[in-house]
Structures are given as C-alpha cells and as structure tokens.
Amino acid sequence: MSKNNKSVLVQGKEILIYEFEEKDYISLTDMVRDVENGLVLIENWLRNKNTIEFLGIWEEIYNPDFNSPEFEGIKNQAGLNRFALSVKQWVAKTNSIGIVAKAGRYGGTFAHKDIAFEFASWISPKFKIYLIKEFQRLKEKEQKQIGWDIKRNLTKINYRIHTDAINSHLIPDYLSKQQIVNVYANEADILNMALFGKTAKQWREENPTEKGNIRDFANENQLVCLVNLENLNALFISDGLQQNVRLEKLNQIAINQMKILLTVKVNKKLNK
C-alpha cells in the first residue's frame, strides 16, 4: 500500500482512502466491490440527475477551474433514457476535482469524502453512518498521532539543549570518545530514573522484544514532563549541582508535574 493510502473497515469491507493534495478521497469501487454489478451501480448513480446537480454545486464551491458551461449541458441531458456518463467523461468535460479515476494496483474510482458520503447513501443509509463513524475514528487517531509526534520532536529539540549543557560543564577535554558517550548516556539515565524510575538498560532488559527505547513508549503526559526535566537539568548542570542532588530534585519535580497533568486530564474527561 502507498504511503498516501489508508483504509477503514466498514461492515466487513476494507475501504481504501487516498490522500491527494491534503484532501481525503474514499474509494467508491471498494464500497461496491462485493455487490452484484457494483461498477454498474457507480455508473447509475453518476447518471442520476440529482447526483449531477450535487456534483455541480460541490465543484462550483471548491473548484475555481470547474467548467460550468459544460456542466450545464450535462445537467440538461441527465435523466434522459439515452443519457450515459462515465467518471472519465465527467472529469474530462468539466475539469472536475471531486471524483478521480485512479489507475494502478490500488486504483479505482475515488471521490472526495463529501461526495463519497453522498454515494454511500445511494448504497444504504446504514452503510453511510458506519462509514462516517469509521472515518471519524481514523481522523481522531491521526490527530492523536500528530500531537504525539509534535511532543516527541519537542523533546528532541530540548535534548540538544540538555546535551550542550553536559558538553559545556561535565565533559573535560581529556576524556576519550567512549567516556564522552558514557557521560551523555549517564545523564540521559538521570532523566529516565527521575521520570520512569528505571534506566534505559533496565527497560530494554524488561522489554527484549520491543523496538525503540523507553522514551518511544512514553505517553503524552510523560513527554510533556520530559521536556521540562531536560530544561531544568540543563539549568542545574550550569549551576554546578551534583548528580545525586539533581536526581533527587528532578524526581520530586517529575512526581508533582505528573500529578498535575493527570489531574488536568481527569478534569477534562469529567467536563466532557
């Protein structure tokens, strides 16, 4: 599957979602894949006068290059017995962007989510409701992932501040490369001990099958706290505090901050 492709499972059907220019296009082909004469169903829906009117309104709102004169001619023909229209013809004649005929392994007829939901009603109102539900679930999951990535990247930025403080105040000129690596790892574990209560090595020994490190499995609250601890430890290092003193201070700060963050999260749930 392409990196631009996602999917949702709706009533046992896997429905492919293709991202084009930061917009989600849902596969109409997948919706009717197990339906008898499914592709004909798409053609019948497209030749329906109400469908043509809906598509025209959508394109006029969102597509500045929509060929309105050509659309008017198509609309006037819609509903007649002799009227026939394929997706490719619709796109070619009107310069439509709402429906796309995509070739290749994951090809088929895709439509912008607004139009795809309308087509889902043509299949079944129940199917439309389940499709919207699963699509919303997918978008919520994506938003959570975006939030997690932002927080994870923020910790990486702060990690540079932290390592600069270590380099300036804790690493003498005479240390070997391996000794320098050990100093950095040791200071990283000060933060791990303060927040997680264990070193990176201890976590790996407890989770031998997991890929990544202890911080890759941190939740959002822990990542927020870690950002603060990195900044504070950099400040404590600059002030010349000994490691054992810093660990004790950071651990108390981590405990207090996690309590606050968890309280805020609980209150948000109660307010909802």
Indicate the average pLDDT of the chain: 78
What is the pTM for the complete model shown? 0.51
- Whether residue 199 is predicted with pLDDT greater than 70 in this model: the reply is yes
Mean local confidence (pLDDT), 106-119:
87
Q: What is the torsion angle, in degrees rounded to the nearest 10, for the CA atoms of residue 90, residue 93, residue 97 and residue 98?
A: -30
Q: Determine the Cα–Cα distance for residues 266 and 250; give it in Å rounded to an integer.
A: 24
pLDDT at 60 > cutoff 60: yes
pLDDT band at 1 (very low <50, low <70, confident <90, very high): very low
> Greater confidence, 113 or 143?
113
What pLDDT does 67 receive? 92
Single-letter amino acid code for the residue at 29: T
Average pLDDT, stretch 210-221?
82
Average pLDDT over residues 211-215: 81
124, pLDDT greater than 50: yes
Q: What is the pLDDT of residue 145?
A: 61
Cβ-contact 39, 32 below 8 angstroms: yes
Q: Is the pLDDT of residue 256 over 80?
A: yes
Q: What average pLDDT does the segment 211-237 reach?
A: 82
Q: How confident is the model at residue 104 (pLDDT cuts 50, 70, 90)?
A: low
Taking residues 160-175, report their average pLDDT.
Answer: 51
Q: What is the pLDDT of residue 144?
A: 65
**What percentage of the chain exceeds 90 in pLDDT?**
12
Residue 22 pLDDT > 80:
no
Span of 59-68, 73-82, 160-169 with lowest mean pLDDT: 160-169
Residue 3 binned pLDDT confidence (cut-offs 50, 70, 90)? very low
Q: Is the pLDDT of residue 77 over 80?
A: yes
Q: Which pLDDT score is estimated for 160?
A: 57
pLDDT at 37 over 80: no
Any idea which of 11-20, 141-150, 259-268 has the lowest mean pLDDT? 141-150
Q: Using pLDDT thresholds of 50, 70 and 90, give the confidence band for residue 163.
A: low
pLDDT for res 110: 92
What's the whole-number mean pLDDT along residues 57-74?
91
pLDDT at 188: 80
pLDDT at position 156, please? 60
